[in-house]
Amino acid sequence: QVHLVESGGGSVQTGGSLRLTCTASGYSATRRYMGWFRQAPGKEREPVAAISTGYGSTYASGAVAGRFTISQDNTKDTVYLQMNNLEPEDTAMYYCAAGPGTSWTTRDANSLDAWGRGLQVTVSS
């Protein structure tokens, strides 16, 4: 069983930056990809970014590409989401997740193997 613990988040003004961290423990085979989904009030949960823990390849949604960068540490147990040039539209709960890469590319949150508890990110104008 995979356990995901998130840290970071908070409140910033438009144009500001934040970094989210997610540390995983447990069965590594289910952590083929690690990354983030987000959910704003009244909206569906949507993919943000993911990284292949084995190969280091990354995915970023069109809404955040060029502003958000996902990376991992050498142990491959921790991933980081560096969020720059934040916009009010980025305000949401951000959830760390682990599972197959297609969960992000097909927007299929139900296929993920593990979730963190979520972090609030608020961007004010």
- Positive or negative: CA dihedral 90, 96, 102, 106: negative
Mean pLDDT for the stretch of residues 100-110: 87
Give the H/E segment covering residue 104: helix 102-105
Rounded to the nearest integer, the mean pLDDT of the chain is 93
Considering only 3-7, 106-110, 116-120, which range has the smallest mean pLDDT? 106-110
Q: Which residues contact 1 (CB under 8 A, 6 or more apart)?
A: 26, 27, 114
Q: Where residue 110 falls among pLDDT bands split at 50, 70, 90?
A: confident
Tens digit of pLDDT for each residue in 50-79?
Answer: 999 989 999 999 999 999 999 999 888 999
Tens digit of pLDDT for each residue in 6-31?
Answer: 999 999 999 999 999 999 988 776 67
Q: Return the pLDDT at 26.
A: 84
Q: Of 17, 39, 41, 15, which Cα lies nearest the Cα of 96?
A: 39
